[in-house]
Amino acid sequence: MSDRLSWMLLSFPLPSIGSLRVRVNWFFLIFAAIFVLRFGAAYGLTLTGLLLVSVFLHEWGHVLAARLTGGSASEIHLSPLGGLATVQPGRDTFSQIFTAAAGPFMNLLVCVAVFPGIASSSTSIGDMLNPLKLPLAQLSEDHLTSDLMLLGFAVNWLLLVVNMLPIVPLDGGQIVRAMMATRIHPELVGRAAAKASIFFSAVLMLAGLVGDWSVVVFVGAILLVINLVQLFEEQTSEFMDEEFQGYDFSEGYTSLERSAAESASQPDGTLNPLQRWREQRRIKREVEERLQQAEAEQQLDGLLAKVHEHGMASLTAREQHLLQQVSDLLRERGKRPS
């Protein structure tokens, strides 16, 4: 789970499901209050309950997909419009795409399952498929079952549509990011995904302004801010070389863990929780960047060996593109002051 989203994780625990911890975001209580004030107690609480169950199914889809593809999952946070799952999919592209797509797919399965029960209702197909409009104004005691299925369809359709937007951190954005990783060097994927997400967030905001949909403008603005922060972090982290001093990266993780332990054992003990969290983030970023650099150097060595043995013409178009990317990346790092 991304550290930049940690501010969204103010939550309270539910009973665990096996080894999987479940937490509910406090935003659900805010949504429940808004729904109750707008639609009344019965309708508002029913809508909140359906949203909570639908988000759980969405996140459970991510968990199942990650575990089926050799990954792992330890915790899910249920929050409006999709929640956050602490999952680690397999390293291959299929595992990452499958894990990201599994959440929206669960919502699609719910829509397909309840559709036969609502197909004969008076609500038009257009109203059912409009994610910006609830299909019911109030619940009817005479048609309670069909009304619940209609609301369940609307909630799951909304989660499906929103999460398939090609914007990080939504599932559609994660799918795009995984696909980018097959064409772009891993160290450049985060920046490229953030730029693409900023573009699509701006398009979403523009569509909301043109259509006079305040909710769409609000969602687009939130996603835009998240990705602007991500892009800022990607770019500024490149110029923080002074943070690398004091570590022997030739020893890999062992050096970092020892240095972190030495920092934690300093006699002053003045680090507060926020400083410790930032220190952990810094060490994690250092590990990832050095491993990515080592991988880039290994790829470059392999490509240069192939060129030396068979000539430049032996490289495929993708290998030539990768060679140029890796060379530029290492050249840029080599110009930094140490």
Q: What is the pLDDT of residues 251-307, one digit of tens each?
A: 444 444 444 455 444 444 566 666 666 677 777 777 777 777 777 777 777 778 877
Domain boundary among 164, 180, 199: 164
116 & 246 share domain: no
Within-domain flag for 212:
no
Does 4 share its domain with 149? Answer: yes
Instruction: Give percent of the chain above pLDDT 90.
Output: 29
Q: How far apart are CA 39 and CA 147, in angstroms?
A: 15
User: In this predicted structure, what is the pLDDT of residue 45?
Assistant: 92
At 122, give phi and psi (nearest 5°): -75, -10
Mean per-residue pLDDT, 15-21: 84
Give domain status of residue 272, yes or no: yes
Model confidence at 153, in pLDDT bands (50, 70, 90)?
very high
> Tokens 């969602």 identify what position?
219
pLDDT of residue 300: 75
Among 114, 133, 164, which residue terminates a domain?
Answer: 164
Report how many domains make up the chain: 2
Region 163-189: mean pLDDT is 88
Flag whether 211 is in a domain. no
Q: Judge whether residue 29 has pLDDT over 80.
A: yes
Whether residue 286 contacts residue 247, with contact meaning beta carbons closer than 8 Å, is answered with yes
Instruction: Tokens for 34, please give them.
Output: 């808004």
The per-residue pLDDT for 172 is: 94
Domain boundary among 105, 135, 164: 164
7 and 156, same domain (yes or no): yes
8 Å CB contact between 165 and 82: no
Q: Is the predicted pLDDT of residue 10 greater than 80, yes or no? A: no
Bridging pattern class, strands 72-78 and 20-25? parallel
Q: pLDDT at residue 243 above 60? A: no
Please tell me the predicted confidence (pLDDT) of residue 249: 40
Query: Which residue would you say has higher pLDDT here, 117 or 210?
Result: 210
Half-sphere exposure of 62 (CA within 13 A, CB side): 31
- Residue 114 included in any domain: yes
Other Cβ atoms less than 10 A from the Cβ of 118: the count is 20
The whole domain housing 139 covers 1-164
Q: Are residues 157 and 278 in the same domain?
A: no
The reply to whether 156 and 248 lie within a common domain is no
Burial per residue of 251-277, b for 16 or more beta-carbon CB atoms within 10 angstroms, e otherwise: eeeebbeeebeeeeeeeeeeeeeeeee
d(C-alpha 277, C-alpha 273), whole Å = 6
In a domain, 292, yes or no: yes
How high is the pLDDT of residue 290? 75
Same domain, 159 and 279: no
What are the residues whose beta carbons fall under 8 Å from the beta carbon of 149, sequence distance 6 or more? Answer: 114, 117, 118
Q: Do the domain assignments include residue 112? A: yes
Confidence (pTM): 0.68
What Cα–Cα distance (Å) separates residue 17 from each residue in 23, 294, 324?
11, 39, 48
pLDDT averaged over the chain? 79
Is residue 173 included in any domain, yes or no?
no
Residue 311, domain member (yes or no): yes
